[in-house]
Amino acid sequence: MQFQWYPGHMTKAKRQMQEDIKLVDLVIELVDARIPFSSRNPDIDTLGQNKARLILLNKSDLADEEQNEAWAAFFREKGYYVVRMDARSRAGMKQTLSVIMESCKEKIERDRRKGIINRPVRAMVVGIPNVGKSTFINTFAGRACAKTGNKPGVTKGKQWIRLNKNVELLDTPGILWPKFEDQSVGLRLALIGSIKDEILNVDELSLELIELMRREYPGILAGRYEVEENGSAAEVLGQIAGNRGCIRKGGELDYSKAAALVLDEFRTGRLGKITLEKPAGKA
């Protein structure tokens, strides 16, 4: 299965971000803690050159805690500020505000020397579709000022949000990049929902997830669905269909319904705290 999704509005959004980057002091990049490498748009590093950089490991409550620690260390070693957080529950929000001020302390000090007092830090919030940017901004600001949705591509226009007298945020649309050189990156993005399910083969996607789960987290599927994990991924999916009542008229197993179930339970954390990639070997 080939993975690619780059609708036309993303090209326009990237051009707008290239213009807007001149207005900000800091780039806040949200990544999905379950795939911190694959959920980073490589264009952001070019875009954010010479700016302070903060990476938010969002949805860290859904990820393997040991790997959260490993990824935070990985990014800090590369010079980024890092906060682990869950935008929905406010976990990590207070720390995020203090890290924003810490990351821009040189800018604040330069302003002070020039006699500029209380000019707010301006930060651009970036990230690929469905990593939780709008939820982060709404939770951070304490009000619904950015549109949110559980489908990729909801945020379309430019929005400035003033958090307080010290910080202003620029919300941006989620953008991917034109071509995934490594299709395993596309696979992981599809698994977390950053590529629209409507353009994917969800049945095949669930089989990929089952293979990955058996390899990296053996026993979780067996415990959750009361299945045998040996045999092919299709056989495991068939067992899940049978055990969860995914049956068509005539008694046939409904593989598609079972596939959607497995994907949904992974994405919502009901399969447990799972990270799909490790920092070892990442550039």
pLDDT digits (tens, 9 = 90+) for 41-65: 888 888 888 889 999 999 999 999 9
pLDDT in tens, 68-89: 999 999 999 999 999 999 988 8
Torsion of CA 73, 75, 76, 80, to 10 degrees: -160
pLDDT value of residue 73: 96
What is the length of the chain? 283
pLDDT at 150 over 60: no
pLDDT value of residue 50: 85
More confident residue, 164 or 63: 63
pLDDT value of residue 11: 65
**Range 66-72, long-range pairs (CB < 8 A, 24+ positions):** 67/33, 67/275, 67/278, 67/279, 68/33, 68/275, 70/278, 70/279, 71/33, 71/36, 71/275, 71/279
pTM: 0.84
Host H or E run for residue 123: strand 121-126
> What is each CA distance from 213 to 78, 80, 92, 155, in whole angstroms?
29, 30, 28, 32
Q: Considering only 140-144, 220-224, 229-233, which range has the smallest mean pLDDT?
A: 140-144
